[in-house]
Amino acid sequence: MIEACKITFNRRSLRLKHYDYSQEGYYFITIVTQNREHFFGEIIESTMILNDAGRMIDTLWNEITLDFENIKLHAFVIMPNHIHGIIEICNNTVGVPLVGTLNIDLVGTHKINSKKIKTTSRAPIKGALTIGDIIGAFKSKTTNHYIKMVKKGMVSPFDKRLWQRKHIVRDECDYIRLSTYIKNNPQKWEEDMFAS
């Protein structure tokens, strides 16, 4: 028997205290445009019609897996002034060395430009990927693309930033409920809390 699931939205804290956001699992993402501006298209007869900016958002969302190989994308919808999606983090590993493009051992004597350099410390280690890393990269990439579109006169400019300042999918019931919410979002636009 599946129990009813309930999400409580707490505007003061967007994150759960002491939760490891690099943890494998499903994350329900809502990103709202600054001042709830309608940048991405419009709802016509319960169908979202994407404009140029909306198509750009759709393309970059679907390219997230090119930047982060250990994630899977699930239900996703673009609305006039926000997006909803579910991202799954899987096989998340810790300890990727940040050694750049130099092909060197982490500790020992290294040859750089024919000179021997002795190091006694290890390269910094990057922690496991977090949902914040993924969304931060997505927001940055979409903002940069949007700015280029503004400069070309394709879209209207935004005020200071494109996006406003996430929910953990707790179980299968939560996943089903949120997936259904995402898929039905255009039909329920009039009732949507982000519509105004």
Output the domain CATH number for residue 71.
3.30.70.1290
Residue 3 lies in a domain: no
> Does 110 lie in the same domain as 169?
no
The predicted-structure confidence for 81-107, as pLDDT tens digits, reads as follows 999 999 999 876 654 433 333 333 334
Question: In the 8-state DSSP scheme, what is residue 66?
Answer: H
Phi then psi for 86, rounded to 5 degrees?
Answer: -120, 125
Residue 62 lies in a domain: yes
Report the alpha-carbon distance of residue 63 to residue 91 in Å, rounded.
19
> Does 146 lie in the same domain as 163?
yes
Report the alpha-carbon distance of residue 81 to residue 38 in Å, rounded.
4
Residue 11 lies in a domain: no
- Residue 81 CB-density burial (10 A; 0-12 exposed, 13-18 middle, 19+ buried): buried
> Does 178 lie in the same domain as 100?
no
Q: Which structural domain, as residue segments, surrounds residue 32? A: 25-93+128-191
Last residue of a domain, one of 75, 109, 126: 126
> Does 104 lie in the same domain as 85?
no
pLDDT at residue number 186? 81
Give buried/exposed letters for 93-115 (b at 16+ CB in 10 A, else e). Answer: eeeeeeeeeeeeeeeeeeeeeee
64's tokens = 């997230």
Report the alpha-carbon distance of residue 21 to residue 86 in Å, rounded.
14
Last residue of a domain, one of 107, 126, 145: 126
> Does 164 lie in the same domain as 87?
yes
Residue 169 lies in a domain: yes
> Does 151 lie in the same domain as 102?
no
pLDDT at residue number 123? 39
pLDDT at residue number 175? 78
> Does 74 lie in the same domain as 36?
yes
pLDDT tens digits for the chain (196 residues)? 334 444 444 344 445 666 777 888 899 898 999 888 999 999 999 899 999 999 999 999 999 999 888 899 999 999 999 999 999 998 766 544 333 333 333 344 444 444 444 444 333 335 678 888 899 999 999 999 999 999 999 999 998 899 986 455 667 787 787 788 778 878 877 766 555 5
pLDDT at residue number 149? 96
Report the alpha-carbon distance of residue 182 to residue 176 in Å, rounded.
10
pLDDT at residue number 124? 38
> Does 61 lie in the same domain as 134?
yes
Instruction: State how many domains the chain has.
Output: 2
pLDDT at residue number 77? 96
pLDDT at residue number 170? 67
pLDDT at residue number 92? 67
Report the alpha-carbon distance of residue 164 to residue 105 in Å, rounded.
42
> Does 180 lie in the same domain as 148?
yes
Report the alpha-carbon distance of residue 144 to residue 161 in Å, rounded.
11
> Does 134 lie in the same domain as 107?
no
